[in-house]
Amino acid sequence: MKDVRKKAKELMSGYCRVCAVCDGRACAGEVPGMGGLGTGSAFKANVEDLSRLRLNMRLLHDVTEPELAVSLPALALDLALPVLAAPIGGVSFNMGGKMGEEDYVRAVLGGCAAKGTLGCTGDGVPDFIHQAGFTAIAGLSGRGIPFIKPWEDAELFEKLDKALATGAGVVGMDVDAAGLVTLRKMGRPVSPKPPKKLKEIIGRTPAKFILKGIMTPDEARLAADVGAAGIVVSNHGGRVLDHTPGTAAVLAGVAAAVKGRIAVLVDGGVRTGVDVLKMLALGADAVMIGRPFSIAAIGGAAEGVEKYLDQLRGELSAAMILTGTARAAAVPAGVLA
Protein backbone atom coordinates (compact mmCIF):
# COMPACT_ATOMS: atom_id res chain seq x y z
CA MET A 1 0.00 0.00 0.00
CA LYS A 2 2.97 2.32 0.58
CA ASP A 3 3.89 2.20 -3.11
CA VAL A 4 0.26 2.51 -4.18
CA ARG A 5 -0.18 5.63 -2.05
CA LYS A 6 3.10 7.13 -3.33
CA LYS A 7 2.00 6.66 -6.93
CA ALA A 8 -1.46 8.05 -6.18
CA LYS A 9 0.12 11.14 -4.62
CA GLU A 10 2.02 11.81 -7.84
CA LEU A 11 -0.94 11.15 -10.11
CA MET A 12 -3.48 13.07 -8.01
CA SER A 13 -1.21 16.06 -7.42
CA GLY A 14 -3.23 19.27 -7.16
CA TYR A 15 -6.43 17.33 -6.37
CA CYS A 16 -5.66 15.02 -3.45
CA ARG A 17 -2.69 15.22 -1.10
CA VAL A 18 -3.04 11.55 -0.04
CA CYS A 19 -2.68 12.59 3.62
CA ALA A 20 -1.55 10.14 6.31
CA VAL A 21 -5.12 10.29 7.65
CA CYS A 22 -7.79 11.17 5.09
CA ASP A 23 -9.80 13.49 7.35
CA GLY A 24 -10.90 16.44 5.23
CA ARG A 25 -8.64 19.03 6.85
CA ALA A 26 -6.17 19.80 4.07
CA CYS A 27 -8.82 19.72 1.32
CA ALA A 28 -11.62 21.65 3.09
CA GLY A 29 -13.76 23.43 0.50
CA GLU A 30 -12.27 21.60 -2.49
CA VAL A 31 -15.40 20.60 -4.43
CA PRO A 32 -14.78 19.82 -7.31
CA GLY A 33 -11.75 17.97 -5.97
CA MET A 34 -11.73 15.40 -3.17
CA GLY A 35 -12.70 17.64 -0.27
CA GLY A 36 -15.82 18.53 1.68
CA LEU A 37 -18.06 21.46 0.89
CA GLY A 38 -17.55 24.89 2.49
CA THR A 39 -15.64 24.67 5.76
CA GLY A 40 -15.35 20.92 5.22
CA SER A 41 -16.97 20.38 8.63
CA ALA A 42 -19.31 17.57 7.49
CA PHE A 43 -16.37 15.59 6.04
CA LYS A 44 -14.29 16.27 9.16
CA ALA A 45 -17.22 15.29 11.43
CA ASN A 46 -17.42 11.90 9.72
CA VAL A 47 -13.83 11.13 10.68
CA GLU A 48 -13.97 12.78 14.13
CA ASP A 49 -17.22 11.16 15.27
CA LEU A 50 -15.89 7.76 14.31
CA SER A 51 -12.46 8.25 15.85
CA ARG A 52 -14.02 9.36 19.16
CA LEU A 53 -15.56 5.91 19.67
CA ARG A 54 -13.57 3.45 21.77
CA LEU A 55 -13.52 -0.35 21.72
CA ASN A 56 -13.85 -2.69 24.71
CA MET A 57 -10.97 -5.15 24.66
CA ARG A 58 -11.97 -8.73 25.53
CA LEU A 59 -9.57 -11.67 25.57
CA LEU A 60 -11.20 -14.34 27.75
CA HIS A 61 -12.90 -16.21 24.89
CA ASP A 62 -12.20 -18.67 22.06
CA VAL A 63 -12.55 -16.39 18.99
CA THR A 64 -9.42 -16.89 16.87
CA GLU A 65 -10.88 -17.09 13.38
CA PRO A 66 -13.74 -14.62 13.14
CA GLU A 67 -16.26 -14.93 10.31
CA LEU A 68 -16.05 -11.81 8.13
CA ALA A 69 -18.60 -12.79 5.49
CA VAL A 70 -22.06 -11.23 5.67
CA SER A 71 -25.37 -11.81 3.90
CA LEU A 72 -27.69 -8.93 3.12
CA PRO A 73 -30.95 -10.79 2.44
CA ALA A 74 -32.93 -7.61 1.68
CA LEU A 75 -30.50 -6.95 -1.21
CA ALA A 76 -29.96 -10.64 -2.05
CA LEU A 77 -26.22 -10.14 -1.61
CA ASP A 78 -23.54 -12.29 -0.03
CA LEU A 79 -20.25 -10.51 0.63
CA ALA A 80 -16.89 -11.99 1.65
CA LEU A 81 -16.44 -9.02 3.99
CA PRO A 82 -18.80 -6.22 5.04
CA VAL A 83 -17.16 -3.54 2.90
CA LEU A 84 -18.21 -2.11 -0.48
CA ALA A 85 -16.54 0.61 -2.54
CA ALA A 86 -18.79 3.70 -2.51
CA PRO A 87 -19.84 5.29 -5.82
CA ILE A 88 -17.34 7.95 -6.90
CA GLY A 89 -17.48 9.65 -10.27
CA GLY A 90 -15.68 12.40 -12.12
CA VAL A 91 -12.02 11.31 -12.22
CA SER A 92 -11.13 14.20 -14.54
CA PHE A 93 -12.40 17.11 -12.43
CA ASN A 94 -12.13 15.50 -8.97
CA MET A 95 -8.84 13.58 -9.20
CA GLY A 96 -6.84 15.24 -11.97
CA GLY A 97 -7.71 12.89 -14.82
CA LYS A 98 -4.39 11.02 -15.05
CA MET A 99 -6.50 7.85 -15.31
CA GLY A 100 -9.52 7.59 -17.60
CA GLU A 101 -12.98 7.17 -16.07
CA GLU A 102 -13.41 3.70 -17.62
CA ASP A 103 -10.06 2.41 -16.37
CA TYR A 104 -10.79 3.83 -12.93
CA VAL A 105 -14.23 2.24 -12.61
CA ARG A 106 -12.94 -1.07 -13.96
CA ALA A 107 -10.16 -1.02 -11.33
CA VAL A 108 -12.58 -0.37 -8.47
CA LEU A 109 -15.22 -2.87 -9.58
CA GLY A 110 -12.73 -5.52 -10.69
CA GLY A 111 -10.69 -5.27 -7.47
CA CYS A 112 -13.82 -5.59 -5.34
CA ALA A 113 -15.19 -8.51 -7.36
CA ALA A 114 -11.86 -10.34 -7.08
CA LYS A 115 -12.10 -10.13 -3.30
CA GLY A 116 -15.71 -11.26 -3.08
CA THR A 117 -17.41 -7.93 -2.63
CA LEU A 118 -18.93 -5.20 -4.78
CA GLY A 119 -18.03 -1.77 -6.00
CA CYS A 120 -20.57 0.94 -6.81
CA THR A 121 -20.48 3.44 -9.66
CA GLY A 122 -21.39 7.12 -9.70
CA ASP A 123 -23.21 9.50 -11.95
CA GLY A 124 -23.00 13.14 -12.97
CA VAL A 125 -22.11 15.48 -15.78
CA PRO A 126 -20.65 14.81 -18.34
CA ASP A 127 -22.45 11.63 -19.38
CA PHE A 128 -19.32 9.52 -19.67
CA ILE A 129 -19.36 9.21 -15.86
CA HIS A 130 -22.42 6.97 -15.72
CA GLN A 131 -21.63 5.41 -19.11
CA ALA A 132 -18.22 4.23 -17.87
CA GLY A 133 -19.89 2.72 -14.80
CA PHE A 134 -22.61 0.96 -16.75
CA THR A 135 -20.09 -0.48 -19.23
CA ALA A 136 -17.89 -1.80 -16.42
CA ILE A 137 -20.81 -3.38 -14.54
CA ALA A 138 -22.10 -5.04 -17.73
CA GLY A 139 -18.54 -6.30 -18.37
CA LEU A 140 -18.60 -7.98 -14.95
CA SER A 141 -22.02 -9.59 -15.61
CA GLY A 142 -23.78 -7.22 -13.24
CA ARG A 143 -21.28 -7.35 -10.35
CA GLY A 144 -21.61 -3.74 -9.26
CA ILE A 145 -24.21 -1.31 -8.00
CA PRO A 146 -24.97 1.67 -10.25
CA PHE A 147 -26.04 4.84 -8.40
CA ILE A 148 -28.08 7.44 -10.24
CA LYS A 149 -28.62 11.05 -9.29
CA PRO A 150 -32.11 12.33 -8.43
CA TRP A 151 -32.73 13.78 -11.91
CA GLU A 152 -36.06 15.11 -13.05
CA ASP A 153 -38.36 12.55 -14.73
CA ALA A 154 -37.22 11.87 -18.31
CA GLU A 155 -33.49 11.77 -17.55
CA LEU A 156 -34.09 9.69 -14.41
CA PHE A 157 -36.15 6.96 -16.06
CA GLU A 158 -33.87 6.82 -19.10
CA LYS A 159 -30.81 6.31 -16.87
CA LEU A 160 -32.59 3.81 -14.64
CA ASP A 161 -33.46 1.67 -17.65
CA LYS A 162 -29.83 1.77 -18.81
CA ALA A 163 -28.67 0.87 -15.28
CA LEU A 164 -30.98 -2.14 -15.24
CA ALA A 165 -29.71 -3.23 -18.64
CA THR A 166 -26.23 -3.77 -17.11
CA GLY A 167 -27.56 -6.87 -15.35
CA ALA A 168 -27.15 -5.32 -11.88
CA GLY A 169 -29.52 -6.83 -9.33
CA VAL A 170 -29.28 -3.77 -7.09
CA VAL A 171 -29.49 -0.12 -8.15
CA GLY A 172 -29.41 3.03 -6.07
CA MET A 173 -30.12 6.72 -6.01
CA ASP A 174 -28.03 9.25 -4.08
CA VAL A 175 -30.95 11.49 -3.12
CA ASP A 176 -28.57 13.81 -1.28
CA ALA A 177 -27.04 14.80 -4.62
CA ALA A 178 -29.94 17.25 -4.83
CA GLY A 179 -27.45 19.52 -3.04
CA LEU A 180 -24.46 19.07 -5.36
CA VAL A 181 -23.00 22.44 -6.33
CA THR A 182 -21.19 20.91 -9.28
CA LEU A 183 -24.49 19.93 -10.92
CA ARG A 184 -26.19 23.20 -10.04
CA LYS A 185 -23.30 25.04 -11.73
CA MET A 186 -23.87 22.97 -14.86
CA GLY A 187 -27.58 23.79 -14.90
CA ARG A 188 -28.72 20.17 -14.65
CA PRO A 189 -31.96 19.71 -12.69
CA VAL A 190 -31.73 17.43 -9.67
CA SER A 191 -34.15 17.67 -6.77
CA PRO A 192 -35.34 16.13 -3.50
CA LYS A 193 -37.91 13.40 -4.06
CA PRO A 194 -41.22 13.25 -2.12
CA PRO A 195 -42.33 9.77 -0.87
CA LYS A 196 -45.10 9.50 -3.49
CA LYS A 197 -42.58 10.03 -6.30
CA LEU A 198 -40.10 7.59 -4.77
CA LYS A 199 -42.80 4.95 -4.49
CA GLU A 200 -43.49 5.37 -8.21
CA ILE A 201 -39.78 5.21 -9.13
CA ILE A 202 -39.04 2.18 -6.94
CA GLY A 203 -42.28 0.48 -7.94
CA ARG A 204 -41.33 0.46 -11.61
CA THR A 205 -37.79 -0.81 -10.94
CA PRO A 206 -37.40 -4.61 -11.15
CA ALA A 207 -34.24 -4.61 -9.02
CA LYS A 208 -33.51 -4.02 -5.35
CA PHE A 209 -33.39 -0.29 -4.72
CA ILE A 210 -31.07 1.57 -2.32
CA LEU A 211 -31.60 5.16 -1.19
CA LYS A 212 -28.30 6.83 -0.34
CA GLY A 213 -28.15 9.98 1.77
CA ILE A 214 -30.45 9.08 4.68
CA MET A 215 -29.42 10.80 7.91
CA THR A 216 -32.50 10.66 10.18
CA PRO A 217 -34.71 7.85 11.63
CA ASP A 218 -37.89 9.36 10.13
CA GLU A 219 -36.47 9.31 6.59
CA ALA A 220 -35.15 5.77 7.14
CA ARG A 221 -38.71 4.66 7.98
CA LEU A 222 -40.03 6.55 4.94
CA ALA A 223 -37.44 4.83 2.74
CA ALA A 224 -38.65 1.42 3.95
CA ASP A 225 -42.28 2.46 3.54
CA VAL A 226 -41.81 3.46 -0.12
CA GLY A 227 -40.22 0.12 -0.95
CA ALA A 228 -36.47 0.68 -0.68
CA ALA A 229 -34.59 -2.55 0.06
CA GLY A 230 -31.73 -0.67 1.65
CA ILE A 231 -30.39 2.72 2.70
CA VAL A 232 -26.95 4.23 2.95
CA VAL A 233 -26.59 6.46 5.97
CA SER A 234 -24.47 9.10 4.28
CA ASN A 235 -23.81 12.82 4.01
CA HIS A 236 -22.13 12.23 0.62
CA GLY A 237 -18.71 12.48 2.22
CA GLY A 238 -19.55 16.02 3.36
CA ARG A 239 -19.87 17.28 -0.21
CA VAL A 240 -23.48 18.47 -0.33
CA LEU A 241 -24.25 20.34 2.92
CA ASP A 242 -21.80 21.93 5.34
CA HIS A 243 -22.34 21.32 9.09
CA THR A 244 -24.20 18.02 9.03
CA PRO A 245 -23.35 15.58 11.83
CA GLY A 246 -20.91 12.79 11.10
CA THR A 247 -22.62 9.57 10.05
CA ALA A 248 -21.30 7.66 13.10
CA ALA A 249 -23.18 10.13 15.32
CA VAL A 250 -26.58 9.38 13.74
CA LEU A 251 -26.17 5.74 12.69
CA ALA A 252 -27.43 3.99 15.86
CA GLY A 253 -30.72 5.93 15.82
CA VAL A 254 -31.26 5.48 12.09
CA ALA A 255 -30.42 1.76 12.18
CA ALA A 256 -32.73 1.12 15.14
CA ALA A 257 -35.64 2.63 13.19
CA VAL A 258 -35.46 0.08 10.33
CA LYS A 259 -33.22 -2.76 11.54
CA GLY A 260 -34.40 -6.09 10.14
CA ARG A 261 -36.77 -4.43 7.63
CA ILE A 262 -34.18 -3.24 5.11
CA ALA A 263 -30.39 -3.35 4.70
CA VAL A 264 -28.58 -0.58 6.56
CA LEU A 265 -25.32 0.56 4.97
CA VAL A 266 -23.26 3.55 6.04
CA ASP A 267 -20.34 5.57 4.71
CA GLY A 268 -18.26 8.57 5.68
CA GLY A 269 -14.80 8.60 7.22
CA VAL A 270 -14.33 4.81 7.32
CA ARG A 271 -10.62 4.20 6.74
CA THR A 272 -9.59 1.04 8.62
CA GLY A 273 -10.91 -2.32 9.70
CA VAL A 274 -11.33 -0.89 13.20
CA ASP A 275 -13.60 1.79 11.75
CA VAL A 276 -15.61 -0.93 9.99
CA LEU A 277 -16.10 -2.78 13.28
CA LYS A 278 -17.26 0.44 14.98
CA MET A 279 -19.90 1.04 12.28
CA LEU A 280 -21.14 -2.56 12.56
CA ALA A 281 -21.39 -2.15 16.35
CA LEU A 282 -23.51 0.98 15.78
CA GLY A 283 -25.99 -1.08 13.73
CA ALA A 284 -24.78 -1.13 10.12
CA ASP A 285 -25.08 -4.37 8.14
CA ALA A 286 -22.11 -3.33 5.95
CA VAL A 287 -20.11 -0.19 5.21
CA MET A 288 -19.07 1.71 2.12
CA ILE A 289 -15.71 3.44 1.78
CA GLY A 290 -15.10 6.26 -0.68
CA ARG A 291 -11.89 8.25 -1.01
CA PRO A 292 -9.42 5.54 0.12
CA PHE A 293 -10.67 3.32 -2.72
CA SER A 294 -10.05 6.17 -5.17
CA ILE A 295 -6.48 6.47 -3.92
CA ALA A 296 -6.00 2.69 -4.16
CA ALA A 297 -7.41 2.57 -7.71
CA ILE A 298 -5.46 5.57 -9.03
CA GLY A 299 -2.22 4.41 -7.38
CA GLY A 300 -2.46 0.70 -8.10
CA ALA A 301 -5.42 -0.05 -10.40
CA ALA A 302 -7.36 -3.25 -9.55
CA GLU A 303 -4.35 -4.63 -7.67
CA GLY A 304 -4.30 -1.51 -5.45
CA VAL A 305 -7.98 -2.01 -4.67
CA GLU A 306 -7.36 -5.66 -3.82
CA LYS A 307 -4.41 -4.71 -1.57
CA TYR A 308 -6.55 -2.18 0.27
CA LEU A 309 -9.28 -4.81 0.79
CA ASP A 310 -6.66 -7.25 2.10
CA GLN A 311 -5.47 -4.60 4.54
CA LEU A 312 -9.04 -3.93 5.72
CA ARG A 313 -9.66 -7.68 6.10
CA GLY A 314 -6.54 -8.09 8.27
CA GLU A 315 -7.40 -5.07 10.44
CA LEU A 316 -11.04 -6.09 10.87
CA SER A 317 -10.11 -9.66 11.72
CA ALA A 318 -7.56 -8.52 14.33
CA ALA A 319 -10.05 -6.07 15.87
CA MET A 320 -12.71 -8.80 16.04
CA ILE A 321 -10.36 -11.19 17.82
CA LEU A 322 -9.31 -8.53 20.32
CA THR A 323 -12.93 -7.62 21.07
CA GLY A 324 -14.20 -11.21 21.16
CA THR A 325 -16.45 -10.73 18.13
CA ALA A 326 -17.09 -14.04 16.34
CA ARG A 327 -19.20 -12.84 13.38
CA ALA A 328 -19.26 -9.62 11.38
CA ALA A 329 -22.95 -10.40 10.80
CA ALA A 330 -23.70 -10.05 14.51
CA VAL A 331 -21.55 -7.39 16.17
CA PRO A 332 -22.97 -6.51 19.58
CA ALA A 333 -23.23 -2.85 20.65
CA GLY A 334 -21.15 -3.81 23.70
CA VAL A 335 -18.06 -3.91 21.48
CA LEU A 336 -18.06 -0.13 21.97
CA ALA A 337 -16.94 1.27 25.33
- State yes or no: residue 307 binds ligand FMN (CB under 6 A): no
State the angle between helix axes of 128-139 and 101-114 in degrees (0 to 180), rounded to the nearest 10. 30
Amino acid occupying residue 93: F
Q: Pick the stretch among 75-83, 216-224, 261-269, 273-281 that binds ligand FMN (CB under 6 A).
A: 261-269
CA angle in degrees (0–180, nearest 5) for 289-65-303: 40
- State yes or no: residue 151 binds ligand FMN (CB under 6 A): no
**Residue of 268, 283, 299, 300 interacting with ligand FMN (CB under 6 A):** 268
**Residue of 106, 236, 278, 307 interacting with ligand FMN (CB under 6 A):** 236
Q: Coil, strand or helix: which one is 284? A: coil
Could you tell me if 236 and 174 are in contact, meaning their C-beta atoms sit under 8 angstroms apart?
A: yes
Within 115-216, residue ranges assigned H as helices are: 128-139, 153-164, 181-185, 195-203
**Would you say 66 or 232 has its CB closer to ligand FMN?**
232
DSSP code string of 59-113: -SS--SS-B--EEEGGGTEEESSSEEEPP---HHHHH-SSS-HHHHHHHHHHHHH
**Would you say 238 or 300 has its CB closer to ligand FMN?**
238
- State yes or no: residue 228 binds ligand FMN (CB under 6 A): no
* Minimum CB distance to ligand FMN, residue 314 (Å): 19
Between CA 79 and CA 56 the distance in angstroms is: 26
- State yes or no: residue 274 binds ligand FMN (CB under 6 A): no
Site residues (CB under 6 A) for ligand FMN, limited to 57-116? 86-90, 94
Q: Tell me which residues touch ligand FMN (CB under 6 A).
A: 34, 46, 86-90, 94, 122-124, 147, 174, 212, 234, 236-237, 239, 267-270, 289-291
